[in-house]
Structure 1
Amino acid sequence: MRTAEPGDTHDIARIQVETWQTAYADLLPREVLDSLDAEEIARIWELTMAGGDATVYVATEGPFTVGFCAAGPAPEEEVADVDGTVPDDAATTGMVGTLLVEPRWGRRGHGGRLLATAAQAMREAGSTRGVVWVPENDDVSIAFYERAGWERDGMVRTLDADGQALREIRLTGDLDFRLT
């Protein structure tokens, strides 16, 4: 595990495209998945790494970059209740924006190590808990966060995925992970 560097953005984009096209084939319209542009995604990750609040971490196995995680302070709108009420701990809530491991490298502990690395950094930055939004039908990711001790907090949002509704649920928990 290490903090991503500018030269990692093409691998990060490749992992995002391959993982979405595999893991989200039943969740997102085929047109959306087919239109993913790895070069554009790499440029977005370059901007994120250059000036965003999130820190990006990469998982490697041998010479290969096999996964990544972006995490940092949670924007207030990501932790607010359905009525817009911001919780008392909003200023100390971190957020996992993305955590993906390329499917062929799955089940080797990379996701858990990425999550633990991000959690440690969020704790060191003063966060006391974390949140993540996951597609409601992504049973694998939901189970992963639940094994880490995070729970569904009842919040649901619906995103527009090229005319198709994509419902996401929010999970939250402390940053002392218990991966089992």
Structure 2
Amino acid sequence: MADVGVRPARLADAAAVAGVQVRAWRHGYRDLLPKDVLAEVTGPEATETWRERWAEAATAPPSPRHRLLVAVASDIVVGFAAHGPAEEPDLDAAGTAELITLLVDPLHARAGHGSRLLAATVDLLREDDFTTLVTWVFEDDEVTRTFLGSAGWAPDGTARTLDMGEEVRQIRLHTDISVHADG
């Protein structure tokens, strides 16, 4: 088995993180987003923008409670997760965090990287005294909903519609990450 793990992202990881994002979106969102939108957000110009944003997230996050983690297998970045305090006005930012994204390269899917990223994220958030974790998912994204559902996530009743030339609906999921939640 390859040497696998999760660690904080470094500046040198930014291009690999952007590459994972683009491949994961092209694969996972191909039936969820309008084709022209998907092409735009995964094209070469967008990939460079993502690389710059992930470099900034790794080196100058908006706060000490914002983090970018990478999953590695044999020193190759195969997935990543980003989190920070929840920003929606209906949530308590002191106790609620948002899983901004969690993506695994489709070439390395179903090897436990997503679960390791999620566990590391929860561990760090608990250290920061968060008790609830939320995330937004496309309503029709059964793969992500099933993955998170198996980890105890459920819809919290909040939804939003994104205008991408056609309406795309997202739902917010939540889970209890307080220490007592493990049993």
Give the TM-score normalised by the residue count of structure 2. Answer: 0.86
Q: Does residue 112 in structure 1 map to residue 126 in structure 2?
A: no
CA displacement at 1:160 relative to structure 2 = 1.9
Residue of structure 2 equivalent to 1:173: 175
Q: Is the 8 A contact 2:61 2:67 kept in 1?
A: no
Once superposed, what is the RMSD of the aligned Cα atoms? 1.5
Residue of structure 1 equivalent to 2:19: 14
CA displacement at 1:134 relative to structure 2 = 0.4
1:82-121 → structure 2 map (5 Å cutoff): 86=91, 89-121=92-124
1:21-60 → structure 2 map (5 Å cutoff): 21-35=26-40, 36=42, 37-49=46-58, 50-53=60-63, 54-60=66-72
Give the TM-score normalised by the residue count of structure 1. Answer: 0.88
CA displacement at 1:30 relative to structure 2 = 1.4
CA displacement at 1:142 relative to structure 2 = 0.5
Residue of structure 1 equivalent to 2:78: 66
SS class of match (2:94): helix
Alpha-carbon distance in 2 for matches of 1:90, 1:152: 19
Alpha-carbon distance in 1 for matches of 2:24, 2:106: 6
User: Which runs of 5 or more structure 1 residues have no equivalent in the other structure?
Assistant: 81-85
CA displacement at 1:165 relative to structure 2 = 1.3
Letter in 2 for 1:40: T
Q: Is the 8 A contact 2:85 2:93 kept in 1?
A: no
CA displacement at 1:63 relative to structure 2 = 2.7
State percent identity of aligned pairs. Answer: 41
Q: Is the 8 A contact 1:12 1:67 kept in 2?
A: yes
Residue of structure 1 equivalent to 2:148: 145
SS class of match (1:146): helix
Q: Is the 8 A contact 1:93 1:128 kept in 2?
A: yes
SS class of match (1:51): coil
CA displacement at 1:52 relative to structure 2 = 2.1
Letter in 1 for 2:121: A
User: Which runs of 5 or more structure 2 residues have no equivalent in the other structure?
Assistant: 1-5
Length, aligned pairs only: 168
Alpha-carbon distance in 1 for matches of 2:167, 2:36: 14
